[in-house]
Structure 1
Amino acid sequence: MNVNKNQIKLPLMLNFLIFSMLLNSMGVIILQLSTTISYKGLGVLESFKDIPMAIVSLLCVNWIAKTGNKKALIFALIFIMISSIALPLVEVFWFFKIWLSIVGVGFAIAKITVFSIIKNNFKDKQLASAVSSVDASFMIGIFFVNIGFGSLLTSNYAQYWKYGFWIIALLSIINVLMLRNSKIEKEQISENKKESGGWKFFLKPKLIYFFIIVFFMVFVEQSFNSWLPSFFKNNLKVNSYFALQASAFLALFSFIGRLVTSRLILRFHWFKFVLICLLFVFSILIACQVLIYYFYTDLKFLLIFIMPLIGLFLSPLFPLYNSEILNKVPKEKTHLLVSIVVVCSSLGSSVGSLYMAGIFHKNVSNFYPLFILFPLLIIFGLTFFLNKTPITYDRNQ
């Protein structure tokens, strides 16, 4: 039985690693295009990924229910594989917008199907552990994309940096083969068109708190993953390679944080775990802001080592919130739940990117840690309401 569970997790982990590399290549793209395009323009670029992601996540629920999780996931992989192969061959800026839209659509399908597969095969704390493991692979994808592109940008082949996406396309082919040979899907393919109904269920207070938390969690994560390299380059005056390396170590610590969480959550209650992580994040952000404000001249390079440590404590939060709610929601509502999560994530990502673009455009990025602290305080307050509010449901809803 354990072998089967591991066989289920492995292709899902590779899938999230692939989409992580695609989604989080934005940090590289921003660095490479910032010499010719304003930060204000680059801030809008992320919307081309997030808006299609939000729209498709709602429209594809019935299609996924009829097609089945595995077939839909394979379709998403083939979709992004073809676009990633084409990206280096098209030498115009507008294709980045099309490519990001394709990535957004693919990830919307992938997230709904992956979380549905986990819901169908895991329960309770094992579900929380599986979510943390899959999300851990998402963070290691960020590490790989920053290390890989950082090395490429400092080599003699820097002008060919877009060809790095061919490696991601190759991984997509491997993932398709793994999924085709797997036996991860056992749920019955739905023929009931009413399955996507029951919107009233998602208006329950606990779920509303959760959706707001998802919005701000992605808001915060996007502020780090896409904009930390620019912060290091602009404020600490390091080159692109070291800026990406610092961001890569943020991802590495995030991977470690989620991997450790997948083990510790089997022993500890999620609420206490979340509070401890948030307090550590607050402490690190405040320490970084103090360094910037009072000791910038002498100790600014300490930020390169301190800021990535946030990943250890920030990364466990999202899977912990997700698993808490996923455990409470009936299987037949999983597709719709995750689609709403994708919408909230997309909105959080777009708004977060515009928020950070405005900060850099107005030249107030020396308050970067402080600006990130504000949405985290909202998350902190809502966590208490999320924990205290019960969720009840009627099967007929």
Structure 2
Amino acid sequence: MTTKTGNLSLPLKLSFLIFSMVLNCMGIVILQLSEAKITYEKLGFLESFKDLPIAFISLFAVGLISKTGTKKALLTALLTVGICSAVLPFVEVFWFYKLWFAIIGVCFAIGKICIFGIIRNNIADEKSLAKTMNNVEASFMIGIFVVNTGFGWLISSSYSEFWKLGFLSVSLLSFITVFLFSKLDISEPASDGKGLIEGISAMIKLPILLFFLVIFCIVFIEQSFNSWLPSYYKTHLKVNSFFALQATSFMALFSYSGRVVTARLIHRFSLVRYYWICLAFILILLCIISGIQYFYSVQSEILLYLFPVIGLFLSPLYPVINSKMIAGMEREKISLLTSCIVIFSSLGSSVSSIMMSILFGNRMLDWYSLYILATVIVLLTVSSLYFYAAKKNL
């Protein structure tokens, strides 16, 4: 990495931290609003107000960013997040949550494309790219930990009715990051000058389509934990709100550890081999969890500690598979590729949350672990097809 990239490290990590906090407060919102008698069906579709705008704006974000510039687009996204987070605590109506998440989704789509473009524009080596992406995305896990721990303490305190004031800290952090970025000179990623339709049509190849399906499945699984694990802990494992939120915090902590360890070990392993090792451990843990639930006790205390450990092996999958694909892509196509990654990620998140709302709404939580296990098996199958197709097309 160059010196300039080193200077960018802190603002990039802070950006992912901020986006993580506003995106992953969904579990807190679901937990709090469900107690306010908002139905799980409505809360399940609340995720779509975040994810569908992400998918939609990603189609046009490349052209928008190329006109405004990466730095200006990223600063605008961060500033908007800061303003919206400052307003949220003072609005009570449910429809505003829909609008808030939609705006956050748009900002995240623009921000992520900008950040991926900046990273790819400075790093060419596949393993160095994987290391950097794991380090930057590790801050995404810290965001999940911070938001769940911070709000958990607030909700469990005597000031629980003022839980939304926690968003003011997100607002302050956004303004600080905007200030840090404004002081830096950022080189703009190159563009191949192709239109949207022409660019997307060039990506309609079997390995790339399978890659997007892998991304969809990974985010589908991640979202099954990130937004819904607190509610699962509270409604099915019968723990209090504070401990329910700490479940996601601990999973985020394990996920952070997984990405940091991956960044340190990635030079010693083949990316493909490392991916399979992580996937194998996820399958083993889910089989153990399912075995405990169905042969011992549905509410066994050990389940409280086993679910978060999955994050140690689940978290490296997304940056590892992304870095492998991005490293092999021409720099001019990175922004468009990132747009497609964001689209399929948001679709995976939205579909996962809708499916989870059905499980919760119909009181089918006994199937929670088996449902995720089945999805991991689908991911295993799709990943095998992707790596085979990618190898065959080299």
TM-score, normalised to structure 1, is 0.95
Q: Identify which range, 159-168 or 285-294, moves more after superposition.
A: 285-294
SS in 2 for 1:46: helix
SS in 2 for 1:45: helix
Deviations 1:313-371, CA, capped at 9 Å, x for gaps: 00000001100110111111111111111111111111000111111111111221110
Identity %: 47
In structure 1, the residue matched to 2:14 is 14
| Equivalent AA in structure 2 for residue 251 of structure 1 | A
- CA separation of 1:98 and 1:142: change in aligned 2, threshold 3 A: same
Q: Shift in Å at residue 146 of structure 1?
A: 0.5
RMSD: 1.7
Determine the C-alpha separation between the residues in 2 that align with 1:78 and 1:95. Answer: 19
Query: Matches of residues 307-346 of structure 1 in structure 2 within 5 Å?
Result: 307-346=307-346
Match of 1:152 among 143, 151, 154: 154
Q: Shift in Å at residue 205 of structure 1?
A: 1.1
In structure 1, the residue matched to 2:117 is 116
Task: Note the residue ranges of structure 2 that are not aligned, 5 or more in a row.
Answer: none
In structure 1, the residue matched to 2:127 is 125
Q: Shift in Å at residue 211 of structure 1?
A: 0.4
SS in 2 for 1:389: helix
1:49/1:103 contact within 8 Å kept: yes
Q: Shift in Å at residue 46 of structure 1?
A: 0.6
Q: Identify which range, 195-204 or 124-133, moves more after superposition.
A: 195-204
Query: Matches of residues 1-397 of structure 1 in structure 2 within 5 Å?
Result: 3-35=3-35, 36-123=37-124, 124-187=126-189, 192=193, 194=195, 197-296=198-297, 300-390=300-390
- CA separation of 1:316 and 1:246: change in aligned 2, threshold 3 A: same
1:195/1:333 contact within 8 Å kept: no
Q: Identify which range, 5-14 or 280-289, moves more after superposition.
A: 5-14
Q: Shift in Å at residue 295 of structure 1?
A: 1.6
Q: Shift in Å at residue 2 of structure 1?
A: 5.4
Q: Shift in Å at residue 385 of structure 1?
A: 2.4
TM-score, normalised to structure 2, is 0.95
Q: Identify which range, 92-101 or 284-293, moves more after superposition.
A: 284-293
Deviations 1:115-135, CA, capped at 9 Å, x for gaps: 011110112211111111111
| Equivalent AA in structure 1 for residue 61 of structure 2 | C
Q: Identify which range, 287-296 or 277-286, moves more after superposition.
A: 287-296
Q: Shift in Å at residue 5 of structure 1?
A: 3.0
Task: Note the residue ranges of structure 1 that are not aligned, 5 or more in a row.
Answer: none
2:50/2:102 contact within 8 Å kept: yes
SS in 2 for 1:296: coil
- Equivalent pairs counted in the alignment come to 391
Q: Shift in Å at residue 196 of structure 1?
A: 7.0
2:189/2:332 contact within 8 Å kept: no
Determine the C-alpha separation between the residues in 2 that align with 1:86 and 1:226. Answer: 22
Determine the C-alpha separation between the residues in 1 that align with 2:196 and 2:344. Answer: 21
